[in-house]
Amino acid sequence: MTDTHCPYCSLQCGMTLSRKGPRLEVSERSFPVNEGALCRKGWTAAGLRGSRERLTTPMVRDRATGEWSAATWDEALDLIATKLSALRDENGADANAVFGGGGLTNEKAYQLGKFARVALGTSQIDYNGRWCMSSAASAGNQAFGVDRGLPFPLADIEQTDVCVLVGSNLAETMPPAARHLDRLRENGGRVVVIDPRLTPTGERADLFLQPVPGTDLPLALGVLHLLDAAGAVDEDYIAERTTGFEDVRRSVAAWWPEMVERVTGVEASQVRELASLLANAEKVMVLTARGAEQHAQGTATVLAWLNVALALGMPGKAYAGYGCLTGQGNGQGGREHGQKADQLPGYRMIDDPAARAHVAAVWGVDPETIPGKGRSAYELLDALGTPEGPKSLLVFGSNIVVSAPNANHIAARLADLDLLVVADMVMSETAALADVVLPVTQWAEETGTMTNLEGRVILRNQAISAPDGVRNDLDIIAGLATRLGAASTWSTDPAEIFDELRAATKGGKADYSGITYDRIRDEDGVFWPCPEGSEGTPRMFADEFFHADGRARFIDVAHRGPAEQPTADYPLHLTTGRVLAQYQSGAQTRRIKDLPDEGAFVELHPLLADRVGAHDGDPVVVRTPRGEMKAPARIVTTIRPDTVFVPFHWVGANKLTNDALDPSSRMPEFKVCAAAVSA
């Protein structure tokens, strides 16, 4: 029996794996985040182990014929290294690019960032976490001086007075977390949910607000206006612990409830009700998720809600504050250790000379050889195969052609590459387009750390050996680095790499130097920041924020609206999201036979269905300026009549989504675009 954690979402629920012959069985175990509970995905996670679709040998595709042939590992790695070297010699180091994932362990994320900068010498690395919580990360950095999804343990929800969830469907996406909302209500607290769809989370709410997609920001402005007008802001906290409130106070003054109603569609009386709830609460917790964050004004939207929390004096107060409910399993750790285009391990900025010197010393290289800031995830993909862009792409832990916005365009960019390499467990939709596919281990077959949505560093323990022919991503990275003649050392032992990571993060904002595998095992997780000798930091900001003056920043933000507004041809809003039984692009969960694979559907309101002549279960076509898809209609009263919803776990939804980017986080606008529906 091996104690470990679920392979999927950012809760990283604890579980135990037992071997039954060649099979694995999941059972519950006590872990603070899930207390033994698992969702359907967690219970069935071992199913992929027995999938006949599991790849067990490297595959090389003949471009002329499209035929695949098996290769040995040496043949595959030699081929890749030779091609990467040639592209670098012909076009410069930035001709090669790397795309990582928010599901990779910290050790892999760290090693991949190092591989890009040291072995390839390229600045062109980013990862799919850019499309997850980067707007909240950008907002947290601006307001608090640091970004940790939740700066407090998740269970703190139970002890707050009012919990406001903006764009989160946690009851469906991470069901064990919903118990905290239930207990909060049992304790007499109130739950507020803001979402264009009434989801299982909204059904738990004492107050449910259903704004037009893309208008969470003006809703926050209106709430703060009412709080200020009522004298409900915490003037002492604002004076002692923050800067910048006067600008925000002036700009929210225009947002009367009736004005908010006109822009958001939320009745003025509900805006007043929310403000009144917050004004009368001692402890308020504001939590955002993808619904608020995946917008071209995602950072500003998060900042607007963060301003509400700050004005009420909540961040740093026990059982209160602001947090982001990160989505991917290692969405948090994945962005701390160097996969991001602008960052080095420990949340160090890549253009900071001191940061470069520190990390270069750990890597044993000259700081001058570390490249500068590269392109963000979408911009990197958008540049592939263009005269100025990368000619090759190595993909680890990501299924781009399902998960990227404007996916038809991105598939075309991939086709223009000289070399596409995908490391994956199965022939995903992206792997199917590759020149070389490398079969990799899955979570139960490897050891490594993850950092969950609370900043709690946990350890996944290997429970079973990998099938013959399959390798760990760390082996692939080391094999390529060696072939490329890279400087530095390239361990394949996760514990050794974690020790190197600890040194690289030492003194950084996300300091892991005091965390060891033994401590994680003994304590069932350790919260960063954790300098050597520290117990770790479950709750942040009690005394000061991470800016040099110790104060938080109010950032004045304005509502611009979605990048694409409805038109006569595209009169509706399209929004996308998740269903309980599937995870991310579905590459894993769609292959688990015990999980229902219902396929994509189009959710629409009966009024809209009547207007377009759609019937429940019959196919409808959704069109946007970027593409179209056909899927069965699901007619529900829980969605706004002006909005359609499509889940993104299957090919289709992201052919429609808009690639407009947030100016700060470079987050694409997944959550709203203009659309038309026909029966």
Eight-state DSSP code of residue 668: B
CB of 24 to ligand SF4, least distance (A): 15
Q: How far is the CB of 102 from ligand SF4 (least distance, A)?
A: 13
Site for ligand SF4 in 547-566 (CB under 6 A): none
In terms of Cα–Cα distance, which of 678, 562, 610, 581 is closest to 41? 581
- Identify which range of 3-11, 91-99, 310-318, 543-551 contacts ligand SF4 by CB under 6 A: 3-11
**By rule CB under 6 A, what count of residues binds ligand SF4?**
14
Please say which residue, 41 or 225, places its beta carbon nearer to ligand SF4.
41
- Residue number, 45 or 362, with CB nearest to ligand SF4: 45
Give the nearer residue to ligand SF4 in terms of CB position, either 420 or 581: 581
Binding residue (CB under 6 A) for ligand SF4 from 26, 39, 457, 646: 39
Binding status of residue 6 toward ligand SF4 by CB under 6 A: yes
Within 13 Å and on the Cβ side, how many CA atoms surround 167?
A: 34
Stretch that binds ligand SF4, among 31-39, 77-85, 421-429, 603-611 (CB under 6 A): 31-39
Contacts of 356 (CB under 8 A, 6+ apart): 344, 350, 367, 370
Residue selected from 31, 42, 264, 588 as contacting ligand SF4 according to rule CB under 6 A: 42
CB of 440 to ligand SF4, least distance (A): 20
Q: How far is the CB of 592 from ligand SF4 (least distance, A)?
A: 12
Residues 214-273 that bind ligand SF4 (CB under 6 A): none
Residues with Cβ within 8 Å of 594's Cβ and at least 6 positions away in sequence, in order, are 44, 47
> Closest separation between CB of residue 591 and ligand SF4, Å?
15
Beta bridge partners of 125: 98
Strand duo 619-624 + 673-678: pairing: antiparallel
Structure tokens at 371: 């490249």
Nearest-approach distance from CB 174 to ligand SF4, in angstroms? 4
373-392 binders of ligand SF4 (CB under 6 A): none
Alpha helices in 322-390 (DSSP H): 331-334, 353-363, 377-383
Query: Minimum distance from CB of 170 to ligand SF4 (Å)?
Result: 9
Q: Kindly state the smallest distance separating residue 45's Cβ from ligand SF4, in Å.
A: 7
Looking at beta carbons only, is 176 or 405 nearer to ligand SF4?
176
With b meaning 16 or more CB within 10 Å and e meaning fewer, what string describes 25-47? ebebbebebbeebbbbbbbbbbb
Q: Is 13 in the site for ligand SF4 (CB under 6 A)?
A: yes
What's the closest the beta carbon of residue 345 comes to ligand SF4, in angstroms?
A: 25
Which C-beta is closer to ligand SF4: that of 360 or that of 595? 595
Backbone angles phi, psi at 620, to 5 degrees: -130, 160
Smallest gap from residue 12 Cβ to ligand SF4 (A) = 6
Measured from the CB atom, the residue of 399 and 505 that comes closer to ligand SF4 is 399
39 versus 592: smaller Cβ distance to ligand SF4? 39
Does 12 sit near ligand SF4 (CB under 6 A)?
Answer: yes
Under a CB-based contact definition with an 8 Å cutoff, are residues 498 and 132 in contact?
A: no
Token pair 């900042």 is at which residue?
303
CA-CA distance, 110 to 96, in Å (whole number)? 18
Interface with ligand SF4 by CB under 6 A: which range of 36-44, 247-255, 361-369, 442-450? Answer: 36-44
Q: Can you tell me which of 26, 31, 34, 414 binds ligand SF4, judged by CB under 6 A? A: 34
Of the candidates 241, 294, 185, the one whose C-alpha atom is nearest the C-alpha of residue 661 is: 294
Q: Quick check: 38 binds ligand SF4 (CB under 6 A)?
A: yes
Which residue's CB comes closest to ligand SF4? 42
CB closer to ligand SF4, 200 vs 244? 200
Quote the tokens at residue 562. 């979605």
Q: Which stretch binds ligand SF4 (CB under 6 A): 6-14, 79-87, 151-159, 410-418?
A: 6-14
If one asks whether residue 586 binds ligand SF4 (CB under 6 A), the answer comes out as no
Draw the binding track, 162-201, toward ligand SF4 (x: CB under 6 A; -: no contact): ------------xxx-------------------------
Stretch that binds ligand SF4, among 37-45, 203-211, 243-251, 390-398 (CB under 6 A): 37-45
Please select the residue that binds ligand SF4; options are 4, 17, 29, 41, rule is CB under 6 A.
Answer: 41
Q: Which residues neighbour 366 within 8 Å (Cβ) at sequence distance 6 or greater?
A: 360
Q: Is 157 in the site for ligand SF4 (CB under 6 A)?
A: no
Residue range at the interface with ligand SF4 (CB under 6 A); choices 10-18, 301-309, 320-328, 510-518: 10-18
Q: Which is nearer to ligand SF4, 41 or 626 (CB)?
A: 41
Instruction: Provide the 3-class DSSP secondary structure of residue 574.
Output: strand
Q: Which helix (H) or strand (E) holds 646?
A: strand 643-647
- 307 CB-contact burial (10 Å; exposed 0-12 / middle 13-18 / buried 19+): buried
3-state secondary structure of 564: coil
Contacts of 299 (CB under 8 A, 6+ apart): 135, 138, 139, 142, 662, 663, 664, 665, 667
Q: What is the Cα–Cα distance from 467 to 443, expressed in whole angstroms?
A: 13
The residue (of 6 and 263) whose beta carbon lies closer to ligand SF4 is 6
Smallest separation (angstroms) from ligand SF4 to the CB of 15: 7
CA distances from 377 to 226, 639, 650 (A): 38, 31, 20
Min separation Cβ 347 and ligand SF4, Å: 24
For position 326 contacting ligand SF4 by CB under 6 A, the verdict is: no
Nearest one of 139, 187, 196 to 161, comparing CA atoms: 187
CA angle 131, 134, 135 (to 5 degrees): 110
Angle between helix axes 494-505 and 353-363 (nearest 10 degrees) is 150
Closest separation between CB of residue 555 and ligand SF4, Å? 31
Which range binds ligand SF4 by CB under 6 A, 5-13, 252-260, 383-391, 425-433? 5-13
The amino acid present at 600, given as its one-letter code, is A
**Cβ pair 544, 550 in contact under 8 A:** yes
Among residues 167, 148, 198, 191, the alpha carbon closest in space to that of 10 is found at 148
Q: What is the layout of strands, in order, in the sheet containing 125-127? A: 68-70, 59-61, 436-439, 419-424, 392-396, 96-100, 125-127
By CB under 6 A, name the binding residues for ligand SF4: 6, 8-9, 11-13, 34, 38-39, 41-42, 174-176
